[in-house]
Structure 1
């Protein structure tokens, strides 16, 4: 979050006022009804000045409603967010946007119903903050410490990531302590053997 991004309230307001078309059902392979999410992603990527190869768009075609519906619904919401004037002016690389639409959306969708990111103020803030953070931006008017603290307090996904990182660090520290204790015991045994 080294760079200064847009005003957070602009993004949360945009999410709160999302057009109903972006909340429609995503199209699934067995059903030709609903929004063609791949086409929507392609349109937004073009708005952002990026070309998207066809094979990159296939992952936005829903195959199984049980597995894909929430992820694709959140993809539609996130494309609406990324179509904001600020992101268009920023001219960020296509790879960053695709990473948001593929990885970040999948992580968020695994934990929360998609439409909560438009109807719930905390989830709107979470989506806006997570997208900005993944693009290495923080909201305008916030220091790095403030943005990091608020992101970790509002985002369940970010809290889980921090807890996992903390557990991994503790496991590494435990392994180091055990290795040091073992080495000290071996050195002590060698000392007694020499005497």
Structure 2
């Protein structure tokens, strides 16, 4: 049986994010907030060490990692520092994949401020964290939780849109191939007569 997390408490925690977590992330010689250190401290609460790859990603030294992604990582660390998570039973290594896999996708969809101030984006962030840690929101079944996450997830909407575009491109290619084949058969028939 999966453990349940208090969705309303976590949503409130995001609303109450301290301004320090929104300081410009340290990138090179600019910025203030050492995001890798913040995330490392939170992971240490769960007995998880920051992997070398994640350390490099969150240190602000990789040009491919945006300031928005770093800021969102700091906010996610704030969310995970809530003591309500401490008593929950979940695979601790999933914390690393939450930062390494889910976070970049979320950061690509919206700014950190949208995740804090827009109710749907805030819910998306919390529900993504809950789902990625193999938990359920309190009072919801697995089906209800998955359905609600899919309905608020901008990442899922993008995935579905891309899948739809790919399917349409495949259908168009098939139609064109069928039209070419019909034209060739018609031409062959004409030359034989």
Q: Is TM > 0.5 for Structure 1 vs Structure 2?
A: yes
Deviation at 1:11? 0.7
CA contact (8 A) 1:49 1:91 kept: no
- Deviations along 1:35-93, one digit per CA (max 9) or x if unpaired, are 00111111111112223345541211113678520000100010011111122223644
Q: How many residues align?
A: 173
Give the number of the structure with larger relative contact order, counting CA–CA contacts within 8 Å between residues 6 or more apart. 1
- Aligned residue number for residue 43 of structure 1: 41
Deviation at 1:144? 2.0
Counterparts of 1:169-184 in structure 2 under 5 Å? none
Pair 1:80-2:117 in alignment:
no
Pair 1:59-2:18 in alignment:
no
- Aligned residue number for residue 183 of structure 1: none
- Could you list the runs of 4 or more consecutive aligned residues of structure 1 that deviate by over 6 angstroms after TM superposition? 166-172
- Aligned residue number for residue 128 of structure 2: 130
- Aligned residue number for residue 19 of structure 2: 20
Distance 1:47 1:34, change over 3 A: same
Give secondary structure in 1 for the equivalent of 2:111: coil
RMSD of aligned C-alpha atoms? 2.8
Higher mean C-alpha deviation, range 40-49 or range 50-59: 50-59
In structure 1, the gaps of 5 or more residues are: 173-195
Give secondary structure in 1 for the equivalent of 2:73: helix
Give secondary structure in 2 for the equivalent of 1:90: coil
Give secondary structure in 1 for the equivalent of 2:93: helix
- Aligned residue number for residue 182 of structure 1: none
Distance 1:76 1:146, change over 3 A: same
- Aligned residue number for residue 116 of structure 2: 118
CA contact (8 A) 1:25 1:35 kept: yes
Deviation at 1:96? 0.9
- Aligned residue number for residue 8 of structure 2: 9
